[in-house]
Amino acid sequence: MALGFALLSISPLHEKTVFDSLKTVPEIIEIHPLFGEYDILVKIETPDIDTIGEVVIKKIRALKGIVDTKTLIGTKSLSGQN
């Protein structure tokens, strides 16, 4: 299982629409509205790292109102888990 996070910048007045659309993406397991440089943080869980990229490109960036994304891949290397 691969874990990723995406920071999303959303054009003004589209925040609620994008938030609601993100709830329909099955690979997104958490959605957090933010204040600051980015507007929303999403947590993505997929079978592998390549699929995280596909979700971001095909399901998140395709949404109307998304201006920019920054994707981060999670790791278990510091948690002591294998």
Q: What is the pLDDT of residues 26-70, one digit of tens each?
A: 999 999 999 999 999 999 999 999 999 999 999 999 999 999 999
Report which DSSP code applies to 56.
I
Question: How would residue 25 be classed by pLDDT, with cut points 50, 70 and 90?
Answer: very high
**CA separation for the pair 82, 76 (Å, rounded):** 7
Task: Give the pLDDT confidence score for residue 75 in this predicted structure.
Answer: 82
Record the pTM: 0.90
Q: Which value, in Å, is the radius of gyration of the alpha carbons in the chain?
A: 13
What is the rounded distance in angstroms from the CA atom of residue 26 to the CA atom of residue 76?
Answer: 22
Whether 78 shows a pLDDT value over 90: the answer reads no
Cβ atoms of residues 5 and 40 within 8 Å: no
The predicted model gives 4-28 an average pLDDT of 97
